Amino acid sequence: MLKDKMETILPTDKTNLTGRLIAVEVFIMAAIGLVMGFLGPFGTYVMPLGWRLAYWVLFIIIGYAIFRPISICAVWLQDAIAIPKWVAVLIGTAIAALPMTFLVGFAMAGMRFDPAFMGSRFLPLYLQCAALGFGIYMMMELLFRTNRGTGTPIDSHSEAQEAERPQPVIRTVLHKRLPIGFPDSILALSVEDHYVRVHASDQNEMLLMRMRDAIPETQPIEGMQVHRGWWVAKHAITESRREGRNLKIILANGLEIPVSRSYAGTLKQMGWID
């Protein structure tokens, strides 16, 4: 219910989309901060309630500002050198926890640098910050997605190609989540952090939902998942291309989508690619 309501507040204006999505995530972080403030973990329960709530909300949001971009870089690292997802997450957590530890230690020392902080007190606080950051990451993972991938910006499509390849008119359950006027023909879905980007011929929109929930709502469009972060419609595929050992499929709107080796054989058997 909460997730559906948050989806309805997402704007249709692409220029404001990123800011609104960040605002939703900051709102969730503030809510987590309030919960932590009431619980008072890591020895903060001795603080007065008001100060404790302010302390946790502030530092959870600061932690979000540190962990969020580093988690995105961890995903890029995962794709670049083909390491397991959990390894990339742990690397990102370990890096992001370092500046967070210094900030928390600075605050705990009365907004001053305490040389003793670099001694035996450093490691326990660092591990606490890392554990908290990793825990929040996993909570967001469970709430909003089970797959992670990198999105590809939509390219300008060829009008001549579109004219030669008329798109079928198919309304899906997913269209109920999309703004009025979104094209009937859905070409692809891609995962971007906690969101699914829905691609049409000349428009795309982001929805706050998981890929595994979005795919069933594309029915009756015939399509399949071709990568951990991509689903494509059969009618959208125009050609396939190999670059060394990597396989890509090209869609009618010019998108180039990577195909995982585990899916390549199925696509060939079904006759979707040569």
Looking from the CA of 146 toward its CB, the CA atoms found within 13 Å total 6
Other CB atoms within a 10 A radius of the CB of residue 151 amount to 17
In a domain, 150, yes or no: no
Question: CA 251, 257, 261, 266: dihedral to nearest 10 degrees?
Answer: -30
What's the pLDDT score for residue 147? 38
Its domain, for residue 127, covers: 2-144
Is 196 exposed, middle or buried (CB count within 10 Å of its CB: 0-12, 13-18, 19+)?
buried
pLDDT tens for 219-248 read 889 999 999 899 999 999 999 888 878 889
Other CB atoms within a 10 A radius of the CB of residue 144 amount to 19
For residues 208 and 80, state if they share a domain: no
pLDDT tens series, the chain, 274 aa: 444 434 433 433 333 445 677 788 889 899 998 998 898 887 778 888 888 899 889 989 998 888 888 887 877 776 667 677 778 888 888 998 888 888 887 777 677 777 777 677 788 888 888 888 888 888 877 776 533 333 333 333 444 444 444 445 567 889 889 888 888 889 999 998 889 999 998 889 999 999 999 999 998 899 999 998 999 999 999 998 888 788 899 998 889 999 988 888 888 888 888 7
For residues 139 and 168, state if they share a domain: no
Task: Show the DSSP H helices in the chain as ranges.
Answer: 2-8, 14-39, 49-81, 85-108, 122-144, 159-164, 211-214, 261-269
For residues 12 and 137, state if they share a domain: yes
Q: Given 144, 172, 193, which residue is the final one in a domain?
A: 144
The per-residue DSSP string of 209-262 comes to S-HHHHGGGGTTS-EEEEETTEEEEGGGEEEEEEETTEEEEEETTS-EEEE-HH
The number of folded domains in the chain is 2
What's the pLDDT score for residue 231? 95
In a domain, 153, yes or no: no
> Which amino acid would we find at residue 180?
I
What's the pLDDT score for residue 159? 40
Separation of alpha carbons 77 and 255, rounded Å: 22
What's the pLDDT score for residue 207? 92
What's the pLDDT score for residue 191? 92
| 8-state DSSP, 174 | G
CATH (domain of 190): 2.40.50.1020
